[in-house]
Amino acid sequence: MCLAIPGRIVEIAQDGVLLMGKVAFGGVTRSVCLEHVKEAVVGDYVLVHVGFALSRIDEVEAQRVFSLLEELGLALGELGEPDGAAP
């Protein structure tokens, strides 16, 4: 129910009283209300739930977990690496 999916803004347009736009999710493009992410510009990624953009994706923050993983890789390497086989 609280499923929200990141998509890329391809178009922004005022529609009556609301700021609307077209957002691409992979190959599918949908009309999305952008009224609450007014800072977003075309090309930005936004998190969309029931046709409504909840927040702009922070691309720097999005990379953070992968830096953590690199650190973990080094730490685990000292203990013995996972063998990579699926469980």
Partner 1 sequence: MKFLDEYRDGEAARRLAAAIHVAVAREKPASIVIMEVCGGQTHAIVRYGIDEILPEAIELVHGPGCPVCVTPLELIDRAHAIASRPGVIFCSFGDMLRVPGSRGDLLSLKSRGADVRVVYSPLDAVEVAARNPERRVVFFAIGFETTAPANAMAVWLAKKRGIANFSALVSHVLVPPAMTMILGAPDNRVRGFLGPGHVCAVMGTSEYEAIARRHAVPIVVTGFEPVDILEGILRVVRQLQQGRGEVEVQYGRAVRQPGNLASRRLMDEVFEVRDCKWRGVGAIPKSGFKLREPYRDHDAGRLFEVDDIECAESATCISGQILRGLKRPRDCPAFGNPCTPDAPLGATMVSQEGACSAYYAYGRHADRRERGKLPIVGGAP
Question: Interface with partner 1 includes 73 (CB under 8 A)?
Answer: yes
- The DSSP call for residue 82 is -
Closest approach of Cβ 83 to partner 1, in Å? 5
Question: Interface with partner 1 includes 41 (CB under 8 A)?
Answer: no
Question: Interface with partner 1 includes 72 (CB under 8 A)?
Answer: yes
The strand ranges marked E within the chain are 5-15, 18-25, 28-33, 45-49, 52-56
Tokens of 43: 């090309």
The contact mask relative to partner 1 for 51-70 (x = CB under 8 A, - = no) is: xx-xx-xxx-xx-xxx-xx-
